[in-house]
Amino acid sequence: MAKTNNRWLYSTGMLASMITVATFSGFINFYYIDILKLSPILIGQAMLIYGIYNAINDPLLGQISDRYRSKHGTRVPFIKYGMIPFVIAFALLWLPQTTWFGGNQTALFAYFVVSILLFDGLYTLVFLNWTALYPELYRTEKERNEVSAIRQIFGIVGNIIGFATPPILAALMGWRAMGILFAVISLLALYLSIKYVKEEPIYEAKEGLPFGVALKETLRNKAFLIYVIAAFFLQFTFVFMQAVLPFYVKYVLKVGSLEQSLVLGTVFISALLFVFGWSKVSNKKGAKWTMLTCIVLFALSLIPYWFADSFLSGLIVAVLNGVGLAGLMILIDVMLADVIDVDQLKTGQRREGMYFGMNALIIRLGISIQGPLLGYILTKSGYVADAIEQSATAILGLKVALVVIPIIALILSFIVFSFYPLDKKAVVKIKEQLKKDVAS
């Protein structure tokens, strides 16, 4: 068990997570395809390698975290000693310049594969453990909704920095300097997030489950299986849209770097206005009901992207996106924390590491799929890297990628989440049973 008396400081870790993830998800394809001219097909192949790597890396690191014991705690040591290598790995992603490797696609491909695997492995090491602290620190539904809202405030700020500012910063200082700047900010945020976290020995005194047993128990948790399938479609929507939007804003809306940043940032600025509102709705109606409502609202808000053709129209659509997005961002971790509580009732163990590891695997699978899918769409639609103007078929391809594919994924997420068994009444019963177990 862990504790901290400062919810806001703990939540600063979300700033580091979202700055790095938003920059990676939103611009890694754009940087290597449109700027460095790496083939979209090779990008897709790299992402497949990335997905296979994560199939092993994420659950394994989760299990190691659950079983690790030291006088300094279970989760905090991984964060403390992993955060500096992590931010260095992030900066390395943006190091290559157009003159590197003499135009050799194979060499650039090799660098890309090694750098994304290094970045992702260290990201998992640090943020799997940071996220696993959340359900340990905050046990009641009210606490989790409130802290999740605070975390998402930092997350939204991180998304604004990582998703909206790169076009401007790259124009002013270059991609390399931008990567270093974001690395420094992320390191400071991580340091603050664990400064006052103290892990207690209550659960640390127990030996964790063996890997095979732990994996089996995780996959036998019905609530988790439903959650993770629905969350996959949701997370795929997020990462795919983040990858597509820089291309869409540049070539469909036809705006400069400042306007690109404003459109991309408006999505998250709008979401910031609705975070605490959705937190209150979730406290009253339950996470499941609120999640389903937000999926519908977010899906409907994507339709106008098909018709947007200017900076102003893109800005209006971005504002609409934020309404449903705010709720989705809050609830994804709240629902997983409830799933972990169910597991504790069954196994008598707190196994945040394994669950967040398996969840991280699903998120990375979404990234792995979006790479080949986006590469296929760009290639087949006739996209030309850094062209002044794209063809009509390339524009159509970008609209399909931003509207049709995400809406299909959201519909599938809604259908699966409708079977999620932990409605408000079920969650209340679980919390009551956990209190009895702790008291006994």
Q: How far apart are CA 386 and CA 56, in angstroms?
A: 36
> For residue 201, which phi and psi values (nearest 5 degrees)?
-85, 5
Per-residue confidence (pLDDT) for residue 440, from 0 to 100: 62
- Residues near 379 by Cβ (< 8 Å), separated by ≥ 6? 40, 41
For helices 222-251 and 257-272, give the axis angle rounded to 10 degrees: 150
What does the pLDDT read at residue 123?
93
∠ Cα 377 382 384 (to 5°): 105
What CA–CA distance (Å, rounded) separates 2 from 133? Answer: 7
Determine what percent of the chain is predicted with pLDDT higher than 90.
46
* Structure-model confidence comparison of residues 296 and 228, the more confident one: 296
Per-residue pLDDT, averaged over 363-377, amounts to 81
Residue 55 has pLDDT above 90, yes or no: no
Q: Which residues are paired to 199 by β-bridges?
A: 2
| pLDDT tens digits, one per residue of 61-91 | 777 777 776 666 778 889 999 999 999 999 9
Place of tokens 């931003």: 402
Q: Is it true that domain 10-439 has CATH number 1.20.1250.20?
A: yes
Q: How much is the average pLDDT of 233-246?
A: 90
pLDDT, one tens digit per residue, over 202-212 is 444 455 566 67
pLDDT in tens, 311-362: 999 999 999 999 999 999 889 888 988 888 888 888 777 777 778 777 777 7
Give the span between the Cα atoms of 217 and 211, in whole angstroms: 10
Residue range 297-313: mean pLDDT, rounded: 95
> What is the rounded average pLDDT of the residues 26-52?
89
The tens digit of pLDDT for each residue in 166-193 reads 988 998 999 999 999 999 999 999 999 9
Is the per-residue pLDDT at 2 higher than 70?
no
Give the number of C-alpha atoms closer than 13 A to the C-alpha of residue 42, restricted to the C-beta side. 16
Mode of pairing for the β-strands spanning 198-199 and 2-3:
antiparallel
Taking the C-alpha atoms of residue 314 and residue 309, their distance in angstroms, rounded to an integer, is: 7
- Per-residue confidence (pLDDT) for residue 377, from 0 to 100: 94
Paired strand residues for 3: 198
Q: What is the mean pLDDT of the chain?
A: 87
Inform me whether the pLDDT recorded for 136 exceeds 90.
Answer: no
Residue closest to 248 by CA, chosen among 190, 310, 296, 193: 310
Which comes out higher in pLDDT, residue 26 or 237?
A: 237
Beta-ladder partners of 2: 199
- How far apart CA 100 and CA 404 sit, in angstroms, is 37
CA–CA gap between residue 100 and residue 84 (Å, rounded): 26
Name 358's Cβ contacts closer than 8 Å, sequence gap at least 6: 58, 59, 62, 218, 224, 228
Mean pLDDT computed over 283-287: 91
User: Distance between CA 155 and CA 180 in Å, rounded?
Assistant: 20
For the chain, report the end-to-end CA distance as a whole number of angstroms: 17
Q: Is the pLDDT score of 246 beyond 80?
A: yes
Q: Sorting pLDDT into bands at 50, 70 and 90, what band is 16?
A: very high
pLDDT band of 53, cuts 50, 70, 90: confident
Q: Would you kindly state where each structural domain of the chain is located, as residue ranges?
A: 10-439
